[in-house]
Amino acid sequence: MSNTLKYLLIFDFDETIINENSDDSVVQVAPGQELPDWLRETFEEGYYNRYMQKVFEYFGDQGVTLADIKTAYENIPLSPGMPELFRFLFKNQDRFEIILVSDANMFGIESTLKSNGYHSLFRRVISNPTNVGKSGHLNLGPYHTHSCTQCPANMCKRKVLTEYLAERSHDGVTFENILYVGDGANDFCPSVIFTSTDVAFPRKNYPMHKLIRKMEEQQKNSYQARVVPWDSADVVSRYLQALFNKS
């Protein structure tokens, strides 16, 4: 039996749920609160995930514990209005299916969500896998491979979303609307397949918002989704409340 749910609500993590980039924030656990030049110089554009694998290895070599890393993630501040938005979603969670798609890592995201009491809100958290190695180091891997030329080598969120929708359709679940809260260029990528009934919430003047504007400037009406920029997540709460009042 097919079950049509109204809303699939998708969140990014870095600079969306939290107000910082978690990869930058976690550097504070390094000796002297910074990484050595030789390590920073190994970074290659499009391969941030591979770079962070080396960062976690370095932490382990320097005696940084998992508890230190976990505490750093737990202390990252949430974005403005995000606690209020999550309180609203807890009260109305039967109206949504909520997932998180992030190019950060599972250990960091789960540490943050659990410490703030939000983990149970998400049906699924999709991010780069982490495990603890024999020596107690945190290991980080890529999420998948893909052929998208716009996205980092380890994750294309358009592919993630397409596969998720196909899986839910196979389960007999379809959605009338997709609602997407994000900030980055990799959040723009999945949003280009949205239809006019879907809503993109790009963080105001961040890369996702700029790319949407650029696409619209190049060809009017080429971006199909409704665009609701936010600087505080209160904007998202108000929009969702208005949606309910209409339905």
Tell the residue number behind the tokens 């209005």, with chain if given.
81
- Residues 6 or more apart whose CB falls under 8 angstroms from that of 93 comprise 121
Active-site annotation holder among 14, 37, 61, 68: 14
Instruction: Please indicate if the annotation marks 12 as binding a ligand.
Output: yes
Integer Cα distance of 96 and 137 in angstroms: 37
Q: Is 183 annotated as a binding residue?
A: yes
User: Are 151 and 162 a contacting pair, CB within 8 Å?
Assistant: no
**Residue 187 annotated as binding?**
no
Sign of the CA dihedral running 83, 212, 108, 68: negative
Q: Is 14 annotated as a binding residue?
A: yes
* Helix count and strand count (H, E) for the chain: 10, 8
Q: Are 61 and 135 in contact (CB under 8 A)?
A: no
103 is in an annotated binding site: yes
Residue type, 196: S
Which residues fall within 8 angstroms of residue 130, CB to CB, at 6 or more apart? 105, 106, 107, 108, 138, 139, 140, 141
Is residue 82 a contact partner of residue 233, using CB atoms and an 8 Å limit? Answer: yes
Q: How far is CA 75 from CA 70, 119, 159, in A?
A: 9, 16, 31
Query: Angle at CA 69, nearest 5°, toward 90 and 44?
Result: 100
Q: Would residue 12 show up in a list of annotated catalytic residues for this protein?
A: yes
14 tagged catalytic: yes
- Catalytic residue ranges: 12, 14
Q: What residues form the annotated binding site for Mg(2+)?
A: 12, 14, 183
Known binding positions = 12, 14, 23, 103, 183
